[in-house]
Amino acid sequence: MKNFNIFKDQLEQMMDTDYRVFVEVLISIETGLNNYNALRLRYDSFIDDDCITLIHQHIYDN
């Protein structure tokens, strides 16, 4: 549980520092996409659409 709390604190700090970059990095890691402009477009789509979430609905349902 100690590592969990450390990682959670670090992620929250990254989110608070620059949420846009945080989300773009997650998208990059998950998709392998490294194009700066493409990542910015995906972030903009994410922010503009309330139906898009970073976590699949299945995670919330369980």
CA angle 36, 41, 42 (to 5 degrees): 100
H/E segment holding residue 49: none
pTM: 0.84
Task: HSE, CB side, 13 Å, CA atoms: give it for residue 53.
Answer: 7
Q: What is the pLDDT of residues 15-62, one digit of tens each?
A: 999 999 999 999 999 999 999 999 999 999 999 998 888 888 888 887
